[in-house]
Structure 1
Amino acid sequence: MRKILPIEKRNAVLSTMAVLLEQERANLKAVNQQDLSNYSGDDLAMEKRLLVDNAKIDGMILSLQQLTSQEDPVGKVRFDFTHENGMKISNKTAAFGTILIIYESRPDVTVEAGGIAFKSGNKILLKGGKESLLSNLKIVSLWHQALKDNDVATEWVEYLNYDRTETQIFLENPTQKVDLIVPRGGEQLIAFTKKHASCPVIVSGRGNNFVYVNKEANLEKAVAIIINGKTSNISVCNALDKVLIDTNIPNWEIFAKQLVTELQLFNVTVLGDEAVAKATGVKAISSDLIWYEEFLDHKIVIGATNSDQEAIDKINKYCGGHSASIITENNEIAQEFMDNVDTAAVYQNASTRFTDGGQFGLGGELAISTDKLHQRGPIGLQHLVTNKWYIYGEGQIR
């Protein structure tokens, strides 16, 4: 087992990495352009996630600076107890050991997720997609430079340049000890990882997020929130895919038509259930199975619902367990909705686009977990730890 690095060393590496990213900004963008030109362009969302521009680099640097300023998550006392026989017992947070991050397209994950895992005292194994290989190798070379500049072994950050077959072999029979795997990507990647992994996996699941417009909604707020959720960034897991409209809204059909018109101004393809299609003239959905889909595209489905309970039931049946929002001025109705919808993040009168470690004050995230163990929602620095029991005795026997 590797000896954990002192927090001063971990912070120094992160600070150096932030400086190197600034120094190598132009070179990193140039390398990324090679990845973009090599990409086939079949998937708009994938291509958007692949791009490294000034804003992305700014985000990487900021995440490293925020991580550097945060407290050490390792060694925090979570429970203290003195046994009747005099033994002192405490439970403290501890590093996992080695974390493997498997991801598609997003070179910023190489910095942000890698940084969170490193600050948490772990060795990092990175397995990025072939579409971002050159960008990832460039960033990993900066990691290695930052480690060397602080007299830390480069083995703390390792890139696995494996194809699918090699990755499967490694998952099933790792050539080194792996304590935790975090897949970041689409449902196929997550299913592949879960199927073959021989250690625990944190599922950073699909989005398929819902907004429910309740009968007591401020309809102006509703339109703004829906437009933001759908159009501000289609390529992210916190984007909006489904809208439910309460038919108890006075003249709900007029509101539905207005919403469709606004969405179409942003070139969003709008589909409706039978009631919404009849009220607005949009194309009707061909099957209820579409309610399960995450689109990652300029596409949305709008449905009508007759009650709050029906909305809750529909969301719980079809959503990805990620985020759901209710638009209502009635706080009691909102609380009932938020308590009973089974998603990692629940909102009243706000966009699902805020489900994000940085936006939640965590200073970035390793992933957004749609599992309930061991952490749900954005996994920040303070969540990326396991725990360990420390017992101090003086010869006690049982």
Structure 2
Amino acid sequence: MVQIKEDISVKQQAVLAKKGAKQLSLLTTEQKNKALLTIADVLEEHTDDILKANEKDLENGKEKGFDDALMDRLALSVERVKDFADGLRQVSKLDDPTGDILTEWTLENGLNVKQVRVPLGVIGMIYEARPNVTVDATGLALKSGNAIVLKGGSSAIHSNKAIVEVMHKALDKTEIPKEAVQFIASTNREATQQLFTMKEHIDVLIPRGGASLIQAVVNNATVPVLETGVGNCHLYIDEHADVEKAISILINAKTDRPAVCNAAETVLVHEKWLEQNSDRLIQAFKDFNIEVFGDERTLATIPGAKEAKEADWAEEYLRLAIAMKVVSNVDEAIEHIEVYGTKHSEAVITEDENVVKKFMALVDAAALYHNASTRFTDGGALGFGAEIGISTQKLHARGPMGLPALTTIKYVMSGNGQVR
């Protein structure tokens, strides 16, 4: 097994990644796809090695008292290793955006102009807990022609090292240089801090994890950041919401996978709808064991509800809990979202087209839904394949970031001696 060097500096790794990116940019789509399929096969062949390393992380997690949700994110199994290997196979089937001509025209003087997609270069990926991100991010980076420098959380250090060692072993059998995939083995915070300022070697940073991690990167990095978002997602159930749709969407958005960023964390309920349908809402919360934190009117309506503190309106619970506020109109709902939303995913449930128009025009978020669950904010669910994260910013990329989001543009001009 190839061993990751732990005595190498972060700068040296970034330099190697830059070199790898240059070589990678010359490869064809066929060569990249073949490499991804090879990595997938070798990962499955070395499942036992990966699981043994994962056991060390799980033991450390138990000693440190990690909660069940974190332990679940850390845990690998034969099935999970197969899943992220299959994820690479799926990425190999996606369209390669690099080299795509977005637009082309010819000037009056005969100069031909093309706007072409090209890789970003070197991606710095900073993430927590989930070992699968090591594979997912690498696959997307390589398919889009980018090298990647991985900095995973200390909680998954043994798993991540084993996974990258296996991927390096696989890359030795391909046209992609293993230098294009770098893993920072140091758990020292200084290693992460160094990534923040390496503009000459790192082209973009992508943080993926909790709010504190994302804000640390955004606030301290001089390297451009593609900000992935914490998901304090809201559902607004309007006065004219169909009760069956409202209950179904609420339950799906909250309970399908409560620990993901596109799950609903706050429900805003119109007072008149609540007067008519409180029994249905109460029963839904009870049936799915959803803990409710609410305002005064919620406490007066929902048995067992707890008083919502100021922090609850901004909380990403990531479990079967939800904040609930009773509102008088759509304007009040929009105002609440403006204050507490994270610009991720917001939904309105109503049959009133005027309410829909106002909500869609005034709510600022990467993804907006009418009569549908927020759980669709996902590259796979939206039909364009895997994604490296959900961007909640406005420049370069917004929403689920698939392969095109990992590219930029280059203008390529061709002439016959034209001068200006």
Structural mapping, 1:157-168, within 5 Å: 157-168=181-192
In structure 2, the CA distance between the partners of 1:169 and 1:321, relative to structure 1 (3 Å rule), is closer
Match of 1:238 among 262, 265, 269: 262
Query: What secondary structure sits across from 1:271 in the alignment?
Result: strand
Query: What secondary structure sits across from 2:269 in the alignment?
Result: strand
Per-residue CA distance 1:36-57 (angstroms, 9 max, x = gap): 2211343443323212235533
Match of 1:79 among 93, 103, 106: 103
Match of 1:106 in 2: 130
CA distance in 2, matches of 1:329, 1:28: 51
Matched, 1:373 2:395: yes
CA distance in 1, matches of 2:199, 2:184: 12
Indicate the larger mover: 116-125 or 164-173. Answer: 164-173
CA distance in 2, matches of 1:208, 1:336: 21
Match of 2:367 among 345, 358, 374: 345
Match of 1:134 in 2: 158
Indicate the larger mover: 221-230 or 315-324. Answer: 221-230
Deviation at 1:213, TM superposition (A): 1.0
Matched, 1:115 2:139: yes
Query: What secondary structure sits across from 2:410 in the alignment?
Result: strand
In structure 2, the CA distance between the partners of 1:147 and 1:159, relative to structure 1 (3 Å rule), is same
Two-structure CA RMSD over aligned residues (Å) = 2.1
Query: What secondary structure sits across from 1:94 in the alignment?
Result: strand
Q: Is the 8 A contact 2:298 2:305 kept in 1?
A: no
Match of 2:293 in 1: 271
User: Which residue identity lines up with residue 154 of structure 2 in the other structure?
Assistant: K
Per-residue CA distance 1:269-315 (angstroms, 9 max, x = gap): 21111111122244453544431222223321111111122212221
For normalisation by structure 2, the TM-score amounts to 0.88
Deviation at 1:254, TM superposition (A): 5.9
Deviation at 1:120, TM superposition (A): 0.6
| Alignment length (residue pairs) | 396
Per-residue CA distance 1:196-228 (angstroms, 9 max, x = gap): 322100111110001111122222332222222
Query: What secondary structure sits across from 1:149 in the alignment?
Result: coil
In structure 2, the CA distance between the partners of 1:212 and 1:175, relative to structure 1 (3 Å rule), is closer
Deviation at 1:229, TM superposition (A): 1.8
In structure 2, the CA distance between the partners of 1:26 and 1:218, relative to structure 1 (3 Å rule), is farther
User: Which residue identity lines up with residue 346 of structure 1 in the other structure?
Assistant: L
Match of 1:185 in 2: 209
Structural mapping, 1:140-179, within 5 Å: 140-174=164-198, 177-179=201-203
Match of 1:50 in 2: 74
Match of 1:28 in 2: 50
Deviation at 1:344, TM superposition (A): 0.8
Q: Is the 8 A contact 1:368 1:378 kept in 2?
A: yes
Query: What secondary structure sits across from 2:148 in the alignment?
Result: strand
Matched, 1:326 2:353: no
Q: Is the 8 A contact 2:124 2:195 kept in 1?
A: no
Match of 1:394 in 2: 416
Q: Is the 8 A contact 2:197 2:223 kept in 1?
A: no
Match of 2:316 in 1: 294
Q: Is the 8 A contact 2:344 2:367 kept in 1?
A: yes
Match of 2:328 in 1: 306
CA distance in 2, matches of 1:107, 1:290: 29
Identify unmatched segments of 5+ residues in structure 2: 1-18
CA distance in 2, matches of 1:254, 1:271: 21
Deviation at 1:74, TM superposition (A): 0.7
CA distance in 1, matches of 2:218, 2:57: 28
CA distance in 2, matches of 1:122, 1:340: 36
Identify unmatched segments of 5+ residues in structure 1: none
